[in-house]
Amino acid sequence: MDGEWLSYAEAAARLGLSIEAVRQRAIRNKWARMLGNDKRARVRLPDESYPTQTPAVRASDQGLMDALRDHNETLKADIEALRAQLAGAEARADREMAKVERAIAEFSALAERLAALAEERAKPWWRRLRLRAV
C-alpha cells in the first residue's frame, strides 16, 4: 500500500471535497497521517480509487409504478365505500330529522292546548260556568 502523501488541501482538490471533509475521512477511514518538513499535516491516500459520493441506489421505476397503481385502486375503492356510508348516514339523518319535526309539531300543538287551558283557568269560575251553559 504505497499511497501518495498529500496535504489536506491537495487531497481536497484531488477528491473534490472540502478540507474538513478530507480530514474527517482520514479520521474515519484511519488513513495514515504524518507531519511534513514544512510542519503541515500530510495524509496518505489509499491506492484504490475512493468514491467521493455515495452512489445513488434507485429502485426499479416499474415496480414503483405498479405499487402506486395498486395503492391508487385501493384508495378509489375506499372512497366508494365511504361515499356509500355517507349516503346511508344522510338517509338516517333525514329520517331522524322528520321524526324531530313531527315531535316539534306535536309539542307546539300541545303548547297551544296548554295555553288555551291556562287562559280558560284564568277566568273566574262563574264565567266558565256561563260559557258552558250557553
Under DSSP, the state recorded for 17 is -
* 57 residue type, one letter: V
- Same domain for 14 and 78, yes or no, is no
Q: Which domain holds residue 32?
A: 5-44
Total domains present in the chain: 2
Average pLDDT over residues 116-126: 80
Q: What is the pTM of this model?
A: 0.39
- Same domain for 39 and 65, yes or no, is no
Half-sphere exposure of 52 (CA within 13 A, CB side): 9
φ, ψ of residue 45 to 5 degrees: the values are -70, 145
Structure-model confidence comparison of residues 97 and 62, the more confident one: 97
- Same domain for 133 and 69, yes or no, is yes
- Same domain for 64 and 20, yes or no, is no
- pLDDT score for 2: 65
How is residue 62 written as a grid cell?
416499474
- pLDDT score for 61: 79
Average pLDDT over residues 95-110: 96
Residue 133 belongs to some domain of the structure: yes
- Same domain for 28 and 66, yes or no, is no
